[in-house]
Amino acid sequence: MIPFLTEEYGNPASTTHEMGRRAKEAVELARQRIASLINATPEEIVFTSGATESNNLAIRGACTHRSAKTKRIVTSQLEHRAVLDPVRRLEKESFEVSRLEVFDRTGVLSSEELSVALAPPCDVFSLMLANNEIGTVCDFNLIAELKSRSRSVFHCDAAQALGKIAIDVQKLPVDLMSFSGHKMHAPKGIGALYVRRGTRLKPIVDGGGHEGGKRSGTLNVAGIVGFGVAAEIVKAERSGIRTHLRRLTTECWKNLTTEIDDVCLNGPPIDERLPGNLNITIHGIDAETLTLKIPRLCISTGSACTSADPEPSHVLQAIGLNEMDARASIRIGLSRFTTDEEIDVAVKSIADAVAELRQLNREL
C-alpha cells in the first residue's frame, strides 16, 4: 500500500497519463484477487467504503430500481444495523417489511416461517451469512430451495464470514453480497459489493459513473490495494486460518467455563458457529461494567459498530434473552493472529474481574 499513500497519487479514472494508468492497474489487480477469493468475475466486484455502504447500495439500490413491483422486503430480526436501518427507511417510504423471528437461542431461523414469508412476491430478501454477534451461520441449502421458487433478489451481508468461511458465489443462491476489508485484516474504510451479472441496481451515489455506473467517487486506491493483498493471503491460507480459529474458540470457551461459574453460550454450539466468535452471558454481573474493568481486552457488549448504544443488544433480545441477561453478555472475537497465550491472559482477566464484581454485588 505504501507507494499509493506516499508517491503514486494517480486517479484510476484518469488513464490519459502514466500515473493514472498505474493506479488503475493496481485497482484491477486487487479486483481480480477479491473476485478469485469468492469465485466471481472481476466485473462483478464493486468497491465501496465498507459493508455498511455495500448493504445500503444493495438494498436501497435494488428496491429503488424495482420499487414499481411488489414494494416488499423480507429480512430477519438478527441483521446488523447496516441492514435494518436502510430497511426501516424504505418502510417509511411505503415498503412492506417482514422481519423473520428466530427458532431458538441458537439464532437459527424457522424454515416454516421463512417459507411462509417468501411465498408472496418480494423485491429483496436480505439475510446475513454469519451473524456478527452470536456466530449463527445461514442455511444456504434452505435459501437455495426457496429462491428457486421466487424471482426475488437475494442479498447477503457476508462481512463477518469473509476469510473465515469458504465463499463460492457460483454455488450460493446470492445476487448481491457485502464485504468489509478490515474483517480479514485489510485496512478499515474499504469494502466491496458482489453484484451477480444481470442483477439490476440503481446507484445511491451519483457523480461520475465510476464502478460501472454503480458507485460514483474517486477510489481509495491504497485501501483497495491492501484489500486485494489481504484476499490473496486469505485464499492461500484459509484452511489453516479456519482450523486455528476453531481450535482457539473451543479452547477459550472451555477455559471460561472452567474459571467462571454460571456462564452460558449464546448462539449455536461451538462446533457449529462462526470460527472466532464467542458470545456469553455471565450471570450476576453488568457487562458494561466488566468491560470498563478490563480495558486492555478488546471485548464488547454487542456489535462493535453499536457499542456506544446504551440499549441492550437487539440480537440477544431476538433470540430470547431478557434485558437483564442481555446486559450481562459480552462478545469475544478471536483473529488469525490471536495466540494461546493471549487466550490465557484474557480468560484470567475476565475471571478475576467477574469474581471482583460478584463480590461487590454480594456486599451491597
Residue whose cell numbers read 484510476: 12
Question: What residue ranges define each of the domains in the chain, with the CATH number in brackets?
Answer: 2-233 (3.40.640.10), 238-363 (3.90.1150.10)
Q: How far is Cα 11 from Cα 336, in angstroms, rounded to an integer?
A: 33
Specify the 3-state DSSP secondary structure of 104: coil
Q: Are 245 and 164 in contact (CB under 8 A)?
A: yes
The residues that bridge with 329 in the sheet, in sequence order, are 281
Residue 85's Cβ-count burial label (10 Å; 0-12, 13-18, 19+) is middle
Note if 138 is an active site residue: no
Pairing status of strand 72-76 against strand 124-126: parallel
58's grid cell = 444493495
Beta strands in the chain (DSSP E): 45-48, 72-76, 96-100, 124-126, 153-157, 176-180, 191-195, 263-265, 277-282, 329-333
> pLDDT truncated to tens, each residue of the chain (364 aa)?
999 999 999 999 999 999 999 999 999 999 999 999 999 999 999 999 999 999 999 999 999 866 557 899 999 999 999 999 999 999 999 999 999 988 788 999 888 888 888 888 899 999 999 999 999 999 888 888 888 777 789 999 999 999 999 999 999 999 999 999 999 999 999 999 999 999 999 999 999 889 999 999 999 999 999 999 999 999 999 999 999 999 999 999 999 999 999 999 999 999 999 999 999 999 999 999 999 999 999 999 976 655 555 689 999 999 999 999 999 999 999 999 999 999 999 999 999 999 999 999 888 7
Q: How far is Cα 150 from Cα 256, in angstroms, rounded to an integer?
A: 45
3-state secondary structure 250-276: HHHHHHHHHHCCCEEECCCCHHHCCCC
pTM: 0.94
User: Which region holds residue 176: left if phi is over 0, alpha if psi is between -120 and 50, else beta?
Assistant: beta
Specify the 3-state DSSP secondary structure of 99: strand
